[in-house]
Amino acid sequence: MNYKLTIQYDGTRYDGWQRQGNTTNTIQGRLEETLSRLTGETAQVHGAGRTDAGVHALGQVASVRLSGGWAPGELMDQLNRYLPQDIAVVDAREADGRFHARLSAVGKTYRYSIRLGCVPDVFRRRYQLPVEEPLDLPAMEEAARLLTGRHDYRSFCSNRRYKKSTVRTVDTIALRREGAVLTITYHGDGFLYHMVRILTGTLLEVGLGLRPAGSMPDILAALDRQAAGPTAPAQGLTLVSVDYPAL
């Protein structure tokens, strides 16, 4: 049976989503280890997005095939019983046999959270980037507008050896301030390695007056990672949700 799992996790203490040969401390690794212990079979979990070390998720989606015929609700309950407290399966359902969490996805939403000012939020410090200097939000919004659309985002990809197309459609880059919290929400059909964090780092440079908002087209045209801003720290980023075609 093919299962679709929706997963939340606090990525603070993990080395990212993807299983790695040099560490067992990944989200995928913990899920596969727990599933194998429960079912007695080798489980291979496919995630919709390979979030980096320290990145969080509200709605990561994974697919896994199991031969035991578990009821989705029972599988979810048992996983939540044995998974670490900072990983939770919030939904489980039977999926079409062709469903693959990554290959079937048609869009993703990410959110980057920033704490403005010099007063920290003790309870959200692991999920926000502190920025004490004032930000020019209208300039950041103008830069975001220029970065939205269908472009070649090679300048916003950390993998210099990436051989596939770096053209993506980002239809939303929305800034919203509520008190001392600024969130930047991104929605697109796909994102390159570190792309959201580099976009955020570049927008922050605009907000701090370190580069003009109007320079975004030049950065895109450069097709060079060195033309864009820094990679924003991981802790402010959350994978919010993954889109799939309507059944």
Measuring CA to CA, how many Å separate 59 from each of 39, 96, 167, 180, 181? 24, 19, 25, 25, 21
Q: What is the distance between the alpha carbons of residues 145 and 156, in angstroms, rounded to a whole number? A: 16
In the chain, where does DSSP find H-type helix?
27-39, 72-82, 137-147, 195-207, 216-222
* In the block, residue with structure tokens 């007056």: 209
Residue 120 CB partners (closer than 8 Å, separation 6+): 130
CB 30 within 8 A of CB 83: yes
Residue numbers annotated as active site: 52
